[in-house]
Structure 1
């Protein structure tokens, strides 16, 4: 007899050669009943990216990784709560791709819909980037840069002797040149490290922060320091001369400088408040900046989706954009993918741990003595005993109340002839469980089965935690009482293993 869901027994490859022998051969058909479901995967990830995202992304070769430690084979429970996970977004600069874009630069982590409002910021973002900035695109600096250029042009003319004879003239440009060099070098600002607080979107589908709010103040503070020092150096700039020619030339040169110095000093005085916190120049500097190689750390707390019937490969997308809006649907198609893997709820018995069959061997017919046969590999005397394990994994979030039972569904039979009195003994071995209470089993005991009987092997009751419970079955014996009528043949029966739920 075969029952749907069972495993076909191995054929007995032994032929009888004597009429006074019979075969005790126990066929196990594995039948698992009860309300449980297998693990199904209903969310498949795709590595396809939409080219449309490139019109707002400002980094190339974007990669996103996380340190959850989960994989497709090592998953978190779906009920996991507030697990610290750090997402790292990295990429290279795209030259001046941001020049024609409107809005601020943002670091964005798109959260999968299954985890909406299940992920939150866990501190501030950490940014390491390389910056270049085009000061000519900063509107508030127009007057200052014009005055700087006029001064530089004048100094060049002075040094070439085009303003006055330089005989006996002394002009110390050391500090002025130093500050002008620093101002010029600001366009290649280089490495910058800063932190920014992060925000969860109203729909719980993204965590984001403004890079401009970190870049702008850094550039503004450095520029303000340079301009302050340049203003002081220019104000102190004074030409001296010796001799009649030198003295006359000094008067001429100082007069020329006197026409430009106030203009530059006034321009700097005017622009400095605009470079302070909240000043319009701060955002203008951020707008004019371009990112090079960039790495962003976004620390989060991640909770699972709760009760799910199948595995979830939760797809996160990390990117850096410049835009006036954060289009989550658009950004979710980007390339910077990173996954956290969650396990669906499972309630199942692992029937692969049970033996395909039990073979009690070939024995001579006699009725004077009780007989006890042990199932061995191939039914061979002295061979390794056949063993098995009943094991149930239950990761559901509900209170658990279930039992594993085994029943002998029919009498031992050989071509219509029944062996009426045998008793099958199943021994309980080591019990392994993830639960501290609420588990019972036949560990250290045995049960006896006859035709039509059912016995409990293991049960769990009133348990809320998730876990696996396993009971080793180290031995299977068949007891045949004396005076049991036997005929030549191969006797078989079937067991039904059942997982059921009840209060």
Structure 2
């Protein structure tokens, strides 16, 4: 500070002939009387151990699943918030190979109570703050079964993955994959967030809109597969790991 004032005074003296004695003296007094000090700012972070509620992928507003048996979410800070159950409805027994499509998911707006249909989806939240990345996989534990009867050769597919997020950018966006599941086979990758990707809440819709969502999850059942009356079910296991490896 003194050096700056001295240079300024010298410059002025060269132009208008001012004395070089008085200005540095005033500068000394200003520093003595006013002085310099510092202050601090701070913020403390803690882990988010709560549960992130299901949201509307387009508005970010809370929604409530209409399904009477919703998937149980996991706790944060890295969490599976919501997964649509896959329902193929009631179908006529057929001796021909048939492709059945999952019905759209239904959710209720938490504020208005209005029920709407939307593509089946997965919702993931990463509030760790580490930017370490993550990976979501799914495994079909067994073939669709009804008691001792099972749908031999039936194939379950998830197609047209569409990512949505308020944090979506060229660098932060994970990769979403289409999947063809194999009963009791290896797990399939669903979403992969490499390092510095996938922070915040992400939605993986199967279908960009209602029309494409109606034909994005399919179950192909061979015509020569024996079928009996009643409900056939299977279990899908979704696993979220804390790195993309």
Deviation string, structure 1 residues 47-80 (Cα, Å, up to 9, x no partner): xxxxxxxxxxxxxxxxxxxxxxxxxxxxxxxxxx
* Equivalent-residue separation in structure 2 for 1:362 and 1:386 (angstroms): 20
1:365 to 65, 81, 93: 93
Shift of 1:365: 2.1
* Equivalent-residue separation in structure 2 for 1:394 and 1:419 (angstroms): 37
Aligned residues of 1:348 and 1:393 also touching (Cα < 8 A): yes
Partner residue, 2:158: 426
Partner residue, 1:455: 188
Partner residue, 1:410: 142
Shift of 1:487: 1.8
2:43 to 301, 304, 307: 304
Q: 1:310 to 1:452 in 2, by over 3 A?
A: same
Query: Unaligned 5+ residue runs, structure 1?
Result: 1-195, 201-206, 208-300, 312-344, 379-383
Structure (1/2) with the larger strand percentage: 1
Aligned residues of 1:398 and 1:464 also touching (Cα < 8 A): no
Deviation string, structure 1 residues 465-496 (Cα, Å, up to 9, x no partner): 84333211233211112212212221111111
Partner residue, 1:471: 204
Matched, 1:347 2:88: no
Matched, 1:374 2:105: no
Shift of 1:389: 2.2
1:436 to 170, 175, 178: 170
1:488 to 225, 229, 232: 229
* Equivalent-residue separation in structure 2 for 1:476 and 1:388 (angstroms): 8
* Equivalent-residue separation in structure 2 for 1:466 and 1:197 (angstroms): 44
Aligned residues of 2:171 and 2:197 also touching (Cα < 8 A): no
Shift of 1:363: 2.3
* Equivalent-residue separation in structure 2 for 1:197 and 1:349 (angstroms): 55
Q: Structure 1 length as normaliser, TM-score?
A: 0.29
* Equivalent-residue separation in structure 1 for 2:146 and 2:221 (angstroms): 15
Partner residue, 1:93: none
Q: Which has the larger radius of gyration?
A: 1
Shift of 1:437: 2.8
Shift of 1:412: 1.0
* Consecutive aligned runs of 4 or more in structure 1 exceeding 3 Å deviation: 196-200
Deviation string, structure 1 residues 137-161 (Cα, Å, up to 9, x no partner): xxxxxxxxxxxxxxxxxxxxxxxxx
The 3-state SS of whatever aligns with 1:463 is: coil
Structure 1 vs Structure 2 CA RMSD: 3.1
